[in-house]
């Protein structure tokens, strides 16, 4: 997510419009590339007038000229190099390292996203390339009572399919079709069919349930003192006034309270009972399995979300078993490791600015 820095590639040089040259150091991926305009230094420059040698007719020293006969260059303009401006993220270093270590033993693709419901700060976001679950028949049985439009609206009220402009980095927050009938509607009721989600969107759901209203996640904080020039895509970074979660009318306190009760029951008497002994306060959770493809038996992705105190977490494991079986162990390891770890913003991670380096002196002019 933070990205990498290195020598500018030919592709980046071509797209820079002359801002980058061969040998320049620039952001190659992630936030380092997105905020390159803010992180990069401004090189120093010196413009000097260089007198021609005695008897010469052209600018600069002539071949074989006697250095003793040359006058010293005259500086016409000089500008000191300036370091870039750091960007500050909401990531908590200890929780970020914990999330990465938890995923280290996963064989395939998996992801963990953790959000603070109190203010939407993303404290950990890690990914790795590469049962005993219940069917959700309970939701299918409600298809006649819940129109598809209401289902899509409810999903949006918890963060799914909402384009978040405060995150400060590109992210996919899922989609829920606004209309469907019959078996397609029934499939949508349990998150199947054309319903699409991502770890950030599902973590936002858990955070919104705990908060009692829509939480708007944020990752990148404003530049210190408002200084620095971000890349065009970085203009989505939040303002200081946007540090609190966004609550949208109508209030969701009633529905989310019921959802919280149900998620707590999943731990007390459901399939997430393995989370009951996690140190700290009560844990809320919900498991999920997403079937996909056309081959039989269908392939499945494992999902599980949980919330404890001011921490909401989503775990995704690709091509695996049920959420409780495949997603449960890394989730429990993360919550257990996070117990007692401050997630109030201390230990924030910030990509350092690219330090300034003086550019070679540029000499021009005529004697």
Reply yes or no on whether the pLDDT at 360 is more than 50. Answer: no
Q: State the average pLDDT over residues 273-299.
A: 88
**How confident is the model at residue 342, as a pLDDT?**
57
| Residue bearing the bigger pLDDT, 3 or 342 | 3
- Name the least confident of 32-41, 316-325, 334-343: 316-325
Render pLDDT for 261-278 as a digit per residue (tens, 0 to 9). 989 999 998 889 999 999
Q: pTM of the entire structure?
A: 0.74
| Residue bearing the bigger pLDDT, 14 or 139 | 14
- 72-102 in b/e burial notation, b at 16+ Cβ within 10 A? eeeeeeeeeeeebbbbbbbbbebbbbbbeeb
Domains of the chain, by residue range, sit at 5-86+352-364, 89-338
Cα dist. 315→77, 184, 234, 348 in Å?
A: 56, 26, 27, 22
Asked: is 89-338 a CATH 2.40.50.220 domain? The reply is: no
Q: State the average pLDDT over residues 77-102.
A: 92
- Name the least confident of 6-15, 186-195, 233-242: 233-242
Q: State the average pLDDT over residues 339-349.
A: 59
Q: State the average pLDDT over residues 65-91.
A: 81
**How confident is the model at residue 224, as a pLDDT?**
61
Reply yes or no on whether the pLDDT at 25 is more than 70. Answer: yes
**How confident is the model at residue 230, as a pLDDT?**
43
Alpha helices by DSSP H, the chain: 10-15, 30-34, 36-39, 93-103, 137-140, 148-157, 182-189, 199-211, 253-268, 328-338
Give the residue among 74, 43, 71, 39 at the shortest CA–CA distance from 56. 71
User: Model confidence at 106, in pLDDT bands (50, 70, 90)?
Assistant: confident
Identify the three-state secondary structure at position 364: strand
**How confident is the model at residue 135, as a pLDDT?**
41
Q: Are 90 and 349 in contact (CB under 8 A)?
A: no
| Residue bearing the bigger pLDDT, 182 or 237 | 182
**How confident is the model at residue 133, as a pLDDT?**
34
**How confident is the model at residue 250, as a pLDDT?**
33
The DSSP call for residue 45 is E
Q: Parallel, antiparallel, or unpaired: how do β-strands 5-7 and 25-27 relate?
A: antiparallel
Reply yes or no on whether the pLDDT at 71 is more than 80. Answer: no
Q: State the average pLDDT over residues 28-42.
A: 89
Beta bridge partners of 291: 300
**How confident is the model at residue 62, as a pLDDT?**
52
CA dihedral sign, ordered 72, 73, 76, 80:
negative
pLDDT mean across residues, the chain:
79
Reply yes or no on whether the pLDDT at 237 is more than 80. Answer: no
User: Model confidence at 343, in pLDDT bands (50, 70, 90)?
Assistant: low
- Name the least confident of 52-66, 251-265, 270-284: 52-66
User: Model confidence at 94, in pLDDT bands (50, 70, 90)?
Assistant: very high
Beta bridge partners of 312: 115, 307
| Residue bearing the bigger pLDDT, 243 or 139 | 139
Reply yes or no on whether the pLDDT at 5 is more than 70. Answer: yes
């Amino acid at each position: 997510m933070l990205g990498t820095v290195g020598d500018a590639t030919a592709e980046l040089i071509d797209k820079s419009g002359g801002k980058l040259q061969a040998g320049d150091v620039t952001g190659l991926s992630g936030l380092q590339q997105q905020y390159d305009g803010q992180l990069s230094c401004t090189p120093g420059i010196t413009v000097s007038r260089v007198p021609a040698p005695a008897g010469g007719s052209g600018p600069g020293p002539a071949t074989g000229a006697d250095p003793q006969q040359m006058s010293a260059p005259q500086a016409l303009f000089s500008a000191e190099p300036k370091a870039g401006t750091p960007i500050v993220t909401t990531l908590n270093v200890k929780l970020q390292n914990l999330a990465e270590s938890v995923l280290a033993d996963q064989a395939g693709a998996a992801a963990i996203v953790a959000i603070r419901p109190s203010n939407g700060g993303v404290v950990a976001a890690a990914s790795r390339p590469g049962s005993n679950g219940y069917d959700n028949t309970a939701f299918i049985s409600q298809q006649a009572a819940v129109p598809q439009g209401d289902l899509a609206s409810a999903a949006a009220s918890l963060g799914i399919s909402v384009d978040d402009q405060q995150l400060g980095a590109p992210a996919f927050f899922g989609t829920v079709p606004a209309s469907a009938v019959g078996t397609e509607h029934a499939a949508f009721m349990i998150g199947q069919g054309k319903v699409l989600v991502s770890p950030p969107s599902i973590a936002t759901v858990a955070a919104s349930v705990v908060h009692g209203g829509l939480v708007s996640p944020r990752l990148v904080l404003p530049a210190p003192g408002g200084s620095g020039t971000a890349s065009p895509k970085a203009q989505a970074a939040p303002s200081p006034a946007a540090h609190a979660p966004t609550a949208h009318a109508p209030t969701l306190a009633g529905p989310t309270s019921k959802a919280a009760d149900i998620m707590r029951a999943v731990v007390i008497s459901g399939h997430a009972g393995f989370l009951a002994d996690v140190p700290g306060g009560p844990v809320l959770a919900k498991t999920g399995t997403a079937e996909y493809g056309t081959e039989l038996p269908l392939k499945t992705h494992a999902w599980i979300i949980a919330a404890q105190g001011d921490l909401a977490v989503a775990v995704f494991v690709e091509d695996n078993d049920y959420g409780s079986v495949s997603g449960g162990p890394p989730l429990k390891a993360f919550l257990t490791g996070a117990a007692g770890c401050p997630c109030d913003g201390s230990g924030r991670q910030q990509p350092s600015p690219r330090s300034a380096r003086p550019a070679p002196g540029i000499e021009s002019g005529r004697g």
